[in-house]
Structure 1
C-alpha cells in the first residue's frame, strides 16, 4: 500500500493531529506528512472519478485511512478530506452522515455543538473526535474574537452572541443550498429531482421497489437518495425542514401525528410486533401472547401517543413484564438489546435491521396498528406532488394519478386527497 511507511516523528504528528493538537509544517519529519497528503489526493481522485463497486470503494477507503474499516461502512461520493489518516471515530469505524463533504469546516462543529449541547455529542454526530471539535470551535472563536459557548462540566450552552451567530449561519446555509438547488434544476434539461432521505432505520426499500417497477415511464423526474443520520435530534431537524435538504422520508407513523409538520401518504398498515434476540427461547415462536412475555424486560418508547401507547397500556396489565422506557430508536438501541437479551417493541418495517434480532408477531387483545408510507412537505412543490401521486398509483391507491409535473399543474383537484391512508387501508386496519 503506497505511503504507509512513515517515521516515528510523523506518527507522533498524526497522533497529535487526531487529538486536536496543532501540527506545524516547519516541524522535523513533516515531509512524510506531505507525502501522505499527496497520496491522499490521488486516492481521493480515484474515489470520486466514476462508479466503483461497494467492495472497491471499501478497498480504496482503507488505503486512504490506512487502517481496517468497518464492513458496514458506506460512502457517498463526492468525498473530500485533508490527508485521510485522521478520518476515524472512537470505534475505528469510519462513517459519513448527513453533513457529508469536509467535516473540518467550522460551521458544522458550531451547529452540531449548539444542537446537541455537548462537544462529545457533536463529535459523535460529525464522526470526529471530541478534541477535534473543541479545536475547531476554539480556533474559530480565537480567530474572530468571539465567545460562542459557555463551557461547564455538564456541557456547553450558546451565549447570546452564539445564538444569534448560529441562527444567522443556519439561514445563510439554507439560502446557499436553495441557490444551489435552483442552479441544479436549471441545468438538468427539464428533469426535476426528488430527494428521498434514507438511513439504516429508514432505508426506503419499498419506495425504491415501487419506483423501479415504473422504470422508464417517469423520465421527467429523477429520484435522488440522500443519506441521513438516525439520531433523534438530527432526524427531527430534517423533518422540520422538509423540502430543504430532503424532500421525502419513508417512515412509520400514527394517523395525524405529523399533521402540523408535513403531509403523509399511507401505503400500508401493520401491527406492532416484538423484536427478540435470536438466542432467546421466544425467538423460536411464530406468535406470542402477552402472557408469553411475562418474565421479560421489554424496551418501549416513552408514553407520547398512538400505537405505542396502546401497546404500553396492554403490556402494563401484566405486572411480571418489566417495561424499560426509551427516548428514541437508533442502531445502539438494537445493539443493546442484542447484547443484554432485552426485548424491544420496534416499528413493523424493521425486520432484518439487526442480524441478532428477529421480529415475532404478537396476538394483541385489540388492534395496535401503525401506518407505513411517505412524509413530505406541507407546501410540496409540483414535482414532489407528482412523485407522491405516481407512488400512490403504483401502490394501487389511485386509479388516475397526476403522473407528470405538467398534469399536477393542470389539475384543479386539491392534492391533499392522497395524504392519508385510502379506504382499503382503513378497512385492513379494522380487521387486524
Structure 2
C-alpha cells in the first residue's frame, strides 16, 4: 500500500547510517544506498545529508520522514482492519463427530490446504453411532450438521447424501488384545481359518463384499461370518467378549481401547471421505470444492 523504500529510508534515519540500517534490514549497505537513491530520484527531492559521520535529514527529508511514518502506521491499521473483517466472515462448517466418525482424516487432508483453510472454521458436534440415530441424521444432514467423515461407498448412502472420497484406506483387522492374532505385526488371510469375523451385511459395503468372497475362497469356507447392520461401540464389546474379529481401517483405530488394528496381506482398500447434504448450502459446497483442490 506504500513504497517499501520508505521503510529503508526510515530505518536509515533512525539508525543514523547506511551500515547500521543494513544490519537491521539484513541486506548489504550497497542495497540500502541504492534504495535511498531510487527513492530520492522518484520523489525528486534530496532526503539525506551524507557525511563520514553518518546521515542527517534535510528539511524536505524531515517532512517526508514524518509523513512516511504516519502513512505506514495508517496503512498497517487499514490492513489489520481488513484482516479482522475477513476473519469475521469465516464460514463455519459443522462437523459431526463420534468414536466411529473421527475427524482426523478430514483434518489431515484439510491441513494441506493452506490457502483455503483461512476461509473456513470447524465446529465439532457430537453425534450418535446408534444405527437408527445415524440414519435419521443422514436424512436430515444440513440442518444441524453439515458434514460427517465416513466410508463413501456404502449402499445406504445413495439417495440420502452426497459422498466425497478423500482417500483409500488399507483395510485392517480389529483384533481383541486377548486374541492369539493380537501379537502379529501382519496377518496372512490363511491364518483366519476357524476364526469368526463380524461384518456388515452383504450388499451393504462393496469393499467388505469383496473381502468376504476372497476369504471364503482362500480359507475354503472355514471362516465364520456374523453380520450386523452397522458397527457400533456395542459391536466392539461383543467382539471383545466373544474373541471375534472386525474389519477396520485407520479412521477407526481409536474406537475401542481393547483392540489392536493389524494390517493384512491383501490389497483391499476402503474409500473414505466426507458425507454432505444432497442440497448443500453455498458455504458447504464451497468447502467441498476447496477440499477437492487440496492446495
Give the TM-score normalised by structure 2. 0.63
Instruction: Measure, in 2, the Cα distance between the counterparts of 1:249 and 1:312.
Output: 27
Q: Which residue of 1 aligns with 2:231?
A: 329
Aligned to 1:408: none
Show the counterpart of 2:83.
Answer: none
1:340 is aligned to: 242
Distance 2:237 2:146 in 1: 30
Distance in 2 (CA, whole Å) between partners of 1:320 and 1:375 is 36
Instruction: Verify: 1:254 aligned to 2:156, yes or no.
Output: no
- Larger strand fraction of residues: 2
| Correspondence for 1:308 | 208
Q: Could you say which residue in structure 1 is the equivalent of 2:6?
A: none
In angstroms, what is the RMSD of aligned CA positions? 2.4
Q: 1:372-411 counterparts in 2 under 5 A?
A: 372-394=272-294
Cα contact 1:255–1:371 (8 A) shared by 2: no
Quick one: which of 257, 261, 271 aligns to 1:355? Answer: 257
Per-residue CA deviations over 1:241-284 (Å, capped at 9, x if unaligned) read 11111110111122776342222221110232211111222112
1:292 aligned counterpart, secondary structure? helix
Q: CA deviation at 1:372?
A: 1.0
Deviations 1:114-149 (A, max 9, x none): xxxxxxxxxxxxxxxxxxxxxxxxxxxxxxxxxxxx
CA distance in 1, matches of 2:155, 2:246: 24
Q: Distance in 2 between matches of 1:218 and 1:345?
A: 33
**Displacement, 1:295?**
1.8
Deviation at 1:346, TM superposition (A): 2.9
Q: Quote how far apart the aligned CAs of 1:371 are.
A: 0.6
Residues 29-67 of structure 1: per-residue CA shift (max 9 Å, x gap):
xxxxxxxxxxxxxxxxxxxxxxxxxxxxxxxxxxxxxxx
Deviation at 1:195, TM superposition (A): 0.8
1:369 is the counterpart of 2:280: no
Q: In 2, Cα distance between the equivalents of 1:190 and 1:360? A: 44
Indicate which of 299, 305, 325 corresponds to 2:198: 299
Partner of 1:284: 183
Consecutive unaligned residues of structure 2, counting only runs of 5 or more, are 1-86
C-alpha contact (below 8 Å) 1:252/1:347 kept by paired residues: no
Contact residue 352 and residue 358 of structure 1 kept, 8 A: no
Please state how far the C-alpha of 1:220 moved relative to its aligned partner. 4.1
Cα displacement (A) at 1:236: 0.9
Work out the number of aligned pairs and report it.
206
Post-superposition CA distance 1:207-234 (Å, at most 9, x none): 2344455579644433211110001111
| Counterpart residue number, 1:225 | 124
| Separation of aligned partners in 2, 1:290 and 1:216 | 44
Native 8 Å contact 1:207 1:391 kept in 2? no
1:201 CA drift (Å): 0.7
Q: Bigger relative contact order, structure 1 or 2, given CA contacts below 8 A and separation 6+? A: 2
Higher Rg of the two aligned structures: 2
